[in-house]
Amino acid sequence: MTPAVEFRGVSVHFGRTRALDSLDLSVARGETLALLGPSGSGKSTALKALAGFVRPDAGRVFLDGEDVTDLPPHRRGLGVVVQSYALFPHMRVDANVAFGLKARRVPRAEVAARVAEVLDLVGMGAYARRFPRELSGGQQQRVALARALAIRPGVLLLDEPLSALDAALREDMIAELLRLRAELPDTTLVYVTHDQGEALALADRIAVMRDARLVEAGSCEQLYRRPATEFTASFLGAANLIPVDLVSHGTPATVRLGERVLTAEPTGALGPGPVALGVRPHRVGVGAPGADTLPALVRAVRWRGTGYRLDLELAGGATIRAEVSETFAVGAAVGVSIPDGCPLVEVGT
């Protein structure tokens, strides 16, 4: 099936800065794709190239199989929501939402009906006559969403839409976006975020970006459980990356960590370079020292509401993080156990 969105070798430079390097990526109709990466990795630039706000210096952008690289933004039929709401302050909510429809010369009666429809869709039906300054941040962002949806876009672009909201509101908005997605199953969403939690909560698939490049793309589960690169393992899961010696190749492979020999699952091709085990903090076992455990010292303890976070120093000097339900004294000698079957990645990927 023709993808709803396709980047083919798209590169963007700003002066001498390479903001996007030969991006190849497609998004299926109805799919929610998160572009995830640290600040400056090229996520917004990819979105802008898709929206038509920046012109690629190489490559092409397709919407529904049509090459739109040379089309101006308003001819691409996309909905766009950005971090800062960007509502017109002197216009009431209904006029803000109607703006794109009027620009498209939609008949007046239909404008009114569509404005009411999308305001209801985002739960803002009662606020049509307010000015943006009379709304909370979360409400303004809902209006911005309604405005983007009013033109019934096939593809909705969201650039860090929740980052101006506080944590509690963000949770509400994630729930709201999930509900919206269920109500608009044919709408394709491309969602830019630096927040792994948001990406995992909302996306069907995640494209991980770093230094203007796509690192890897895959389903949330795939990237979370079987990251192919060290970067994804650390960025997406806040996983410990524990250097280990490769004893034997294979699936599973065998690795050595101190005196312990473990099995591990290589998630990509392993080169000759050093390898590391990706171990999530909640999978690290901590108890009394014993024959089957790795000796470690507790370096720091923090209470996290649901349990304790420990910083542990392994005998070889590596520091790892564990999340456990009972606490330990700082300085205590403990025994650490790492489960078999953790993902194994090449260091430096």
Does position 196 bind ligand ADP by CB under 6 A? Answer: no
Closest approach of ligand ADP to the CB of residue 224, in Å: 20
The token pair that represents 276 in the structure block: 């590391």
Interface positions, 16-55, toward ligand ADP (CB under 6 A): 17, 19, 37, 39-45
**Smallest distance from ligand ADP to CB 23, Å:** 11
Helices 93-103 and 108-121: crossing angle in degrees, nearest 10, is 130
Task: Return the number of the residue (124 or 209) whose C-beta is nearest ligand ADP.
Answer: 209
Q: Which residues contact 224 (CB under 8 A, 6 or more apart)?
A: 200, 236, 237
Rule CB under 6 A: is residue 321 a binding residue for ligand ADP?
no
Of the two residues 40 and 285, which places its CB atom closer to ligand ADP in the complex? 40
Q: Is 11 in the site for ligand ADP (CB under 6 A)?
A: no
With residue 246 as reference, give the H or E element that holds it: strand 240-248
The DSSP string of 170-234 is HHHHHHHHHHHHHH-TT-EEEEEES-HHHHHHH-SEEEEEETTEEEEEEEHHHHHHS-SSHHHHH
Q: Site for ligand ADP (CB under 6 A): how many residues?
A: 11
> Minimum Å distance from CB 78 to ligand ADP?
17
The Cα 142–Cα 5 span in angstroms is 24
Cβ atoms of 237 and 230 within 8 Å: the answer is no
CB count, 10 Å around CB of 77?
A: 16
User: Closest distance between ligand ADP and the C-beta of residue 13, in Å?
Assistant: 9
Minimum distance of ligand ADP from residue 161's CB (angstroms): 13
Instruction: Considering only the stretches 14-22, 99-107, 213-221, 339-347, report the one whose residues sit in contact with ligand ADP under the rule CB under 6 A.
Output: 14-22
CA pair distance 214, 225, nearest whole angstrom? 19
Q: How far is the CB of 286 from ligand ADP (least distance, A)?
A: 36
The Cα 265–Cα 254 span in angstroms is 9
**236 binds ligand ADP per the rule CB under 6 A:** no
Check the CA dihedral 272-274-279-284 and report its sign: positive
The smaller minimum CB distance to ligand ADP, of residues 37 and 278, is found at: 37
Q: Which is nearer to ligand ADP, 49 or 143 (CB)?
A: 49
Question: How many whole angstroms separate alpha carbon 8 and alpha carbon 151?
Answer: 27
Contact status: 306 vs ligand ADP (CB under 6 A): no
Q: Considering beta carbons, is residue 17 or 219 the nearer one to ligand ADP?
A: 17
In this complex, which beta carbon is closest to ligand ADP, that of residue 11 or of residue 44? 44
Nearer to ligand ADP among residue 14 and residue 88 (C-beta) = 14
Return the number of the residue (161 or 343) whose C-beta is nearest ligand ADP. Answer: 161
Least distance (Å) between residue 248 CB and ligand ADP? 39
d(C-alpha 310, C-alpha 299), whole Å: 7
Cα separation, 47 vs 52, whole angstroms: 8
DSSP type of residue 75: G
Binding flag, residue 187, ligand ADP (CB under 6 A): no
Q: Which is nearer to ligand ADP, 45 or 196 (CB)?
A: 45
Distance of alpha carbon 229 from alpha carbon 37, whole angstroms: 13
- Smallest gap from Cβ 17 to ligand ADP, in A, equals 5
Which residues of this chain interact with ligand ADP, rule CB under 6 A? 14, 17, 19, 37, 39-45
